[in-house]
Amino acid sequence: MSEREGTFCLVLHSHLPWLAHHGNWPVGEEWLYQAWAHSYLPIAGLLRRFADEGRRDVLTLGVTPVLAAQLDDPYCLRGLHDWLGHWQLRAQHAAALWQGRPELAELAAAEHRAATTALGEFENRWRHGFSPILRSFVDSDVIELVGGPLTHPFQPLLDERVRTFALRGGLADTALRTGHRPAGIWAPECGYAPGMEHGYAAAGVHRFLVDGPSLRGDTAAARTVGESDVVCFGRDLDVTYRVWSPKAGYPGHAAYRDFHTWAHEVGLKPSRVTGKHIAPADKAPYEPALAADTVRVHVKDFVDTVVARLRALRAQHGRESLVVAAYDTELFGHWWHEGPAWLEGVLRALPEAGVRVTTLRGAVGAGHVGGPVELQASSWGSGKDWRVWDGEQVADMVQANAGLQQRLLAVRSSRAHRDRIADQLVTEAMLALSSDWAFMVTKDSAADYARRRARVHTERFDELAALHRSGDPAAAQRAAEFRTLTQPFGHLDARALG
């Protein structure tokens, strides 16, 4: 094709809260290991294939510091290794249990092959954690890596001093792990408050994501924010929602593997979606060949959607335009079993359709930057405002977090040397301020677990702070005990908060 249709950017946001040593099933460590096995391993695999082919600027990948810490943590690495071995054993048990049922026996065999492949991949490439792998992707320019604040807090609700500390600490953590300090971030929950661009500029952040409605749907180019040189990109919801929206999307197709239906005796998912209102016991068996055919249909549909959107934007604006589609990484593989195959298919098919596939950095380089815009308070949550993290259902948590921040800012540590007690105090406060807890409560998704997690970290902070203030020698021992359970950031220095 002599003329390019336009530019497409895929942005993936990889994030889970700190889960190690905080329960197992269904939202503790099991959550981490499922996402690791079914999303992070296959996504790393497809990026390696693109790198080996010499592809550059394939996608923009966000990895939050708190997730990166878990993917490098020796305890979590051992835990995943065990989990992958148990996956093999569960598949073997399923093969024996399902003898005489050919469709399920074949599924068990496929599960065993997948588990064996994942275990081999992990043992051969992940032995030293994710950071060496991630660094190779950054070094080869197959991705643009974007970062974020330490523990994924909802930034608009933070005291400015806490917000600055969390952001700069998160960028420093990514630089320590990969050798590259990100120039872009995925702001947690795409949360924005007017004026935050100045903090971004001061921290060396040049670009960030907002949701499409923040730009009133005008997402055909990035925009500078206010009087700053910081650029924001808006998700194109017309395209993004084709895959996944609050109400619909490809993963709900009848042929795809059903996320919610378990064969609990073997811990596998044997069914396809079949229909929205079909009881789990009545769902049809999963058929990989049928699912693969459907993936091909949905790859073509998405490519056609992107091309049609770019042509419409060109007709509207009179120039080559931009489409940004952005998703949680965990959608691909963990929530949507066929997601990684779909993703690779799309990233191969779009260039063949005449679409430039690049990163946010590449889009800036290609000239997709418009004039300044004044952004309003926003997020990518329900209502596109702050209600998920600042609504009536979580008003008590918002109040508790505001109080915690004030107590955190009152912590005093030695200016001459590291204070490991103060460092642990800051760590516990950062974990309590994770945006995940309010989200889970508002959405009634493991709300009890979320409230407990916020409370546990706040209580640890208060206990340790009281011992620290009084000079009690027990403070050092208590801080050490907490560190054995929760120390995502060994470099975190409380002095940077003061």
What's the one-letter identity of residue 42? P
The CA-based angle 391-440-197, given to 5 degrees, is 60
**Is the peptide bond prior to 26 cis by the omega test (within 30 degrees of 0)?**
yes
Structure tokens at 218: 């005008």
The angle subtended at Cα 306 by Cα 301 and Cα 309, nearest 5°, is: 120
As given in the structure block, the two tokens for residue 242 are 């084709």
Between CA 408 and CA 392 the distance in angstroms is: 25
Label the pairing between strands 322-328 and 6-14: parallel
Q: 189 catalytic, yes or no?
A: yes
- Check if the beta carbon of residue 351 is closer than 8 Å to that of residue 357: yes
User: Is residue 134 within 8 Å of 43, Cβ to Cβ?
Assistant: no
Across 24-110, where does the E strand assignment appear? 59-63
How many CA atoms lie within 13 Å of 236's alpha carbon, on the beta-carbon side? 23
- Pairing relation of β-strands 207-210 and 59-63? unpaired
Residue from 320, 328, 344, 436 carrying the catalytic annotation: 328
CA distances from 170 to 26, 152, 207, 210, 340 (A): 28, 9, 15, 19, 27
Contact yes or no for 181/145 (Cβ under 8 A): no
From first CA to last CA, the distance across the chain in angstroms is 57
Measure the CA–CA gap between 427 and 150, rounded to whole angstroms.
9
How far from chain centre, in Å, is Cα 159?
24
Helices 420-432 and 447-470, interaxial angle, to 10°?
Answer: 160
Q: What stretches of 170-228 adopt beta strand conformation (E)?
A: 184-185, 207-210, 222-225
Task: Give yes or no: 328 in active site.
Answer: yes
Catalytic residue among 189, 258, 344, 423: 189
CA dist., res. 138 & res. 211, Å (int): 25
Residue 197 near residue 173, CB atoms below 8 Å? no
Give me the active site residues, please. Answer: 189, 328
